[in-house]
Amino acid sequence: MSEILHIDPFGGAAGDMLLGAFLDAGADEARVREILAGLHLDGFRLEVTRDRQQGFAGTRAVVHADSGGHPARHFADVERLLAAAMLPGAVRERALAAFAALFEAESAVHGVPLAATHLHELAAVDAVVDIVGVVACVELLKVERVSCGPVPVGSGSVQTQHGLLPVPPPAVAKLLEGIPIAGHAAAGEMTTPTGAALLRTIVGEFSPLPAGTVRRVGIGLGRRLFEGVPNLLRAFLISPAAERLAGRPMMLVETTVDDVSGEVLGYLAERLREAGAADAWCMAGIGRKGRPITELKALVSPEAADGIVALLFAEGATLGLRMVPCTRPELHRRLVPVATPYGEIPVKVGVFRGRTVSAKPEHDACARAARAHGVALARVVEAARLAFREDEVNEEGA
């Protein structure tokens, strides 16, 4: 079973922190250096050391560039650099995607065409090394997927070549659109544009730490000092948990009523289904002092729960209710049309681990066919069941 790479950017996210964490988690440093050599870039040295940051040990990856500096690059320059480099195909594609994200963000926030955009702080050779090194590590770790927790952005302001900017800087804010950010914020810039671009490129899912067995934890150290927050990033290599049948998260919304007629209960149940409930039903019972009561229940997805609650309150159905988190295991389902003497009838088929375990003709279609042909509903249902079984036999014999 392939592993999951989960990123915990608790103390920030930058290119050097990601590179350090992935190397610490087991990416082959020698292979990473070979891949970086394929860039044919002069004037830099990658230093990888074990170090401490605010009381925690980890791996620090620092790119030392020649004091002479390196030219600013437009996107076309980066495209030519990566196209000429001796890189594995997947590394080249992901690195180019990360740089594209950077340039597109800068283009959007400055209001200039992409072709005219050039990167100041990010254009130096260390950005190229960080981006190519990080995507190379992801390939070398051979993980099935990459996930990431909420991303901290920091607070206050940061000095740049564009002057004093708020944190997160405009380019980082643009890159993090649609990505969950963390509630804690140290004073200063916790996530850099390079870090944000890499997360946007390599992460497939932003979510909590996934279930499974932790195989290794890598720690990448940053170079900033935040009061009360260590500037480090963790990378978890996780073997995912075995297949579970717990199902998808749902919410059970329920209330007890003792003064509503059967007609109103039927109306409410129908309104609940129309409002997005996966199902709604009523159950009779005995309440206090022997009074007859009815429990009205609706099974809904978490995102639809607020709408269902609002509907019940708006209808005056209850003064209060209960919301119970639950899960709903579901069979894989599909509709199979079958030919019968009464026309085509869809059959709802349930499949479990590749095997058909249930088959039920659709009631509404059977009822329409029964009325149209003037026959009993049971006859149409039986004809559809028989037709489905015959189709199954024919498929198996084919």
Provide the domain limits for residue 346: 332-397
322, 212: one domain: no
Domain total of the chain: 3
111, 43: one domain: yes
Q: Please, what is the Cα angle at 55 between 50 and 59, to 5 degrees?
A: 20
Edge-first strand listing for the sheet containing 232-240 = 44-53, 56-65, 212-221, 232-240, 4-8, 145-148, 205-206
Indicate the residue among 285, 308, 328 that finishes a domain. 328
pLDDT of residue 363: 93
Q: Is 251 exposed, middle or buried (0-12, 13-18, 19+ CB in 10 A)?
A: buried
Q: Mean pLDDT of residues grouped by 10 in the chain (398 residues)?
A: 89 96 97 95 90 92 76 82 93 94 88 76 74 97 93 83 80 92 85 95 91 94 89 95 69 87 88 90 86 89 89 86 87 86 92 84 94 95 87 46
pTM comes to 0.63
Q: Please state, in angstroms and rounded to a whole number, the distance separating the CA atoms of residues 150 and 184.
A: 10
Indicate the residue among 305, 328, 351 that finishes a domain. 328
162, 297: one domain: no
Q: Please, what is the Cα angle at 150 between 148 and 156, to 5 degrees?
A: 135
pLDDT of residue 155: 86
Q: Please state, in angstroms and rounded to a whole number, the distance separating the CA atoms of residues 194 and 191.
A: 8
| Cα distances (Å, whole numbers) of residue 233 to 7, 120, 250, 295, 386 | 7, 25, 33, 50, 61
pLDDT of residue 177: 93
132, 227: one domain: yes
282, 337: one domain: no
End-to-end CA distance of the chain: 34
Give me the phi and psi of 33, to 5 degrees please.
-65, -35
